[in-house]
Amino acid sequence: MEILIYIGAVISVVGLVGLVVSGLRVLKAKRAGLDDDALREAVRGAMVLNFGALMLSAFGLILVIVGVILA
């Protein structure tokens, strides 16, 4: 069951990269000096990515925990 640990770790890292990308998108949108509506749309798009990346990272951590329990 060691393979679950490695797969879960890779999935968690991909999720963490997604979280960083989401944060960078919001930072870039804030620095661009967009008007209120455009900034709101940019943040809304980043929130979708943020939520998906968070769920992916959580799923990876669950796989790691299951792999450790079964090992």
**φ, ψ (nearest 5 deg) of residue 33:** 70, 40
Question: Is 5 buried (19+), middle (13-18) or exposed (0-12) by CB count in 10 A?
Answer: middle
Place of tokens 């980043």: 46
Separation CA 32–CA 42 (nearest Å): 11
Place of tokens 């749309």: 41
Q: Residue 24: give the domain boundaries.
A: 2-70
The pTM score is: 0.82
Number of domains in the chain: 1
Place of tokens 């870039």: 28
**Mean pLDDT score across all residues of the chain:** 92
Q: What is the pLDDT of residues 17-33, one digit of tens each?
A: 999 999 999 999 889 88
Residue range 3-12: mean pLDDT, rounded: 95
